[in-house]
Every structure is written in structure tokens, then in C-alpha cells.
Amino acid sequence: MQIKNDTDGMALALEWAAKGMYITAPNPRVGCVIVRDGEVIGAGHTQPAGQAHAEIQALRDAAARGKDVRGATAYVTLEPCSHYGRTPPCSNALVEAGLKRVVAAMGDPNPLVAGRGMAQLQAAGIETASGVLADAAHELNIGFFSRMRRGRPWVRLKTAASLDGMTALENGESQWITGPQARADGHAWRARACVILTGIGTVKADDPQLTVRGIDMPAVEDHAPRQPRRVIVASRLEIDPGARILQGEPCWIVAAVADPGKEAGLRAAGHEVIFLPNAAGKVDLAALMLELGRREINEVHVEAGSKLNASLVREGCVDELLVYLAPSLIGVGQGMFALPALDRLADRIALRFHAVTQVGSDLRILARIMKTEIKTEN
């Protein structure tokens, strides 16, 4: 592939970054390509936490090809790190490699970096530039940016409904409102999240597994698909020990009212119980989001019922709605959000359509709640 300009170089680096979609958390998904005279001589993406970052992978790839990177340009989708964390600084490696120029899509919001990576490169005489395809780079790591800037993950609430907004019949029947392509697409959104969050109502009504299934994972060397952590909001720990969601990998169960017997049983089965009560004796959802941020969770994928959906929205915990609309009408049924009636239209929750895509016979709508939307910063 011939790289003609910075946009071409960064577009390819973003393709490489996307190859790490399911494996890099809690680190950002970063891609790097090294170019000389329009030729790509090295490329790579960030590996699982504790392993090589994108820049190191690209340098290794160039060495494996027998290419000399001195005097070349590196395109990186995020500012190279400049601190010692689980791995050494990438900025050091780029300086030592003798690169002539480094182009970053955008700065790293991590306070441990925040411009220091680019400054180190400049101090070593390397030409730098940033802001190339910044919006695309931001979208790829929207959860990482949220956690670094707000101390909480990006929360995406998924629901599937008929065109008149019903998620199930009045008697609860809901399988299947949307088609197979939409359901498969929903699993891909599950897969990119760090956490899948639901409520005890959904666990009781549907007995879901809430695991990622049927995803055609990209080639990421020998790494198996990572299953997101499952988090259950159960104020009184009223969960059946035989529930399918409790099978397999351990869950985090968030409660508000202590029950030593139930708590001991859940912990004996390997699950963690987290107490975050609010003044009303329910789970403090805002505190939960901060706790998930403290645990290095970048993206939360919510699949819950109308009551928890409404509580999350009402308490300002949701950033984005992922809505699948089927070309059908149900009439009286169960809705997406059990929100209270408004007295004034001016009090409605304002959204902005971010993307609308047809998936099979259904529509996929990404709509962002405007008051919590994160702004892109180069």
C-alpha cells in the first residue's frame, strides 16, 4: 500500500488499532505504522495489558522485515506514552530508533502523559504533528477518554424494540423482536465493552447468560476472545444461586442491603459483592460508575429492563443509547424506559443522533445524551 500523505498514514494506523478492539483493555486501542518514501515498513497494534504497545510492535515488525527505520515517519493513533507503567515508555523507543517524524492522531488524556510524550520527541529533535483523523481516533477509545477525563466509563445502553417502542409483549414475550443480523451485531457491541451490566429484574425474568457469542474475532495472534465482566445490580442480593449469569466467569454483584448468608454464598462461588447504598436503600448508580472507573473499566454495555434503564438515564449515568428498531408494530406492551410522566415538554431528555445504520431488516440507532457527551480534544 502506498502512503501518499498524513491522512493515508493515519487511516492505516487506525485500521491497525481496530485489530486490538477486544484485547487491549484497560489500555487504549492504538495502532502504529512506520513509513518511508510512501512504503509501509512496519506496523502493529497494542497487545493485552502488560505486553507491547503499538509503537514497539511496529518497530519489531520493521526489524523482522529487515527494514531500517532511521529517518522514517511513524503514524500513531494516540500520543506515545512517556512513563513507566506495565511497560517502558514508547517515546524512549521512538527516540532510540532514530525516527525523523512522529504524527499522532491526538494527545493522550492520561495525566501521566498529557503532552509529555510529544514534548520528549521534540526535545530529541524529532518533528511532530497531531490532530490527523482525531475524531476517528477518539471514537475508537471513547471509553478510555471518558475514564481519564471524568473518572468513569463510557456507558452505552442497548435495547431492541418494535417501531412503536415496545421491547416485549404485555405478557413478557420478546424473542425475537429483531432479526438475526441485529442480534449478532449486538454481540459485537458486547464484545468491545469491559463490563456488561444488568439488573436483578432481567435476571429473574429472562435468566440470561450475557456472554459474547458468535463473534468472528479478528486475527490477534494467539489471544482468545476476552469475555466482558458481568455486573448485576441487585439491591437486596435476591439472586438465585442457580441463575445462568452466575455460571462461568465470576460476576460483580452490586447491592445496597446486607444479607450475610447470601453474601457468603456468592463469595464462596467466586463472585464479588460490592455494597453501594444510597439514601433510599437502593444502589447508588452514580457511585457505581465511579467505582467502575476506579477499577479501570473503560466501556459499560447495559442490557437491562425498563426500570433500571430509566434509573440509569435519570441519574445521568448513560452516555449513549444503542437502539435496534424492528419494522413491526406491537401496540400495548413493555417499553424501553419506565420514566415518569413530564409536565413540560421542555423537560424531555435531549439526544443527538450519532449514527443510523440498517442492519439486516432492522435499524441500528446510536443516540447520545447531550448533557453527558464528551468533547473531542486534539
Which residues make Cβ contacts (< 8 Å) with residue 255, sequence separation at least 6? Answer: 234, 235, 236, 237, 263, 273, 274, 275, 276, 277, 283
Q: Are 257 and 236 in contact (CB under 8 A)?
A: yes
Task: Find the largest Cα–Cα distance for the chain.
Answer: 70
Residues in the chain: 378
What are the grid coordinates assigned to 264, written together?
A: 457468603
One-letter amino acid at 368 equals R
**Catalytic: 303?**
no
Per annotation, catalytic residue among 15, 39, 55, 96: 55
Q: Are 198 and 245 in contact (CB under 8 A)?
A: yes
Residue-wise DSSP of 177-231: SS-HHHHHHHHHHHHH-SEEEEEHHHHHHH-------S------TTPPPPPPEEE
One-letter amino acid at 229 equals R
Q: What is the CA radius of gyration of the chain?
A: 23
Cα 182 from Cα 160, distance rounded (Å): 9
Residue 334, beta-bridge partner list: 168
Instruction: Return the number of other C-beta atoms located less than 10 Å from residue 28's C-beta.
Output: 26
Say if residue 313 is exposed, middle or buried (CB neighbours under 10 Å; 0-12, 13-18, 19+): buried
Q: Are 198 and 219 in contact (CB under 8 A)?
A: no
Under DSSP, the state recorded for 375 is: P
**Residue 93 φ/ψ, nearest 5 degrees:** -65, -40
One-letter amino acid at 119 equals A
Closest CA to 146 of 178, 109, 174: 109
Closest CA to 184 of 159, 211, 213: 213
Which amino acids are annotated catalytic? 55
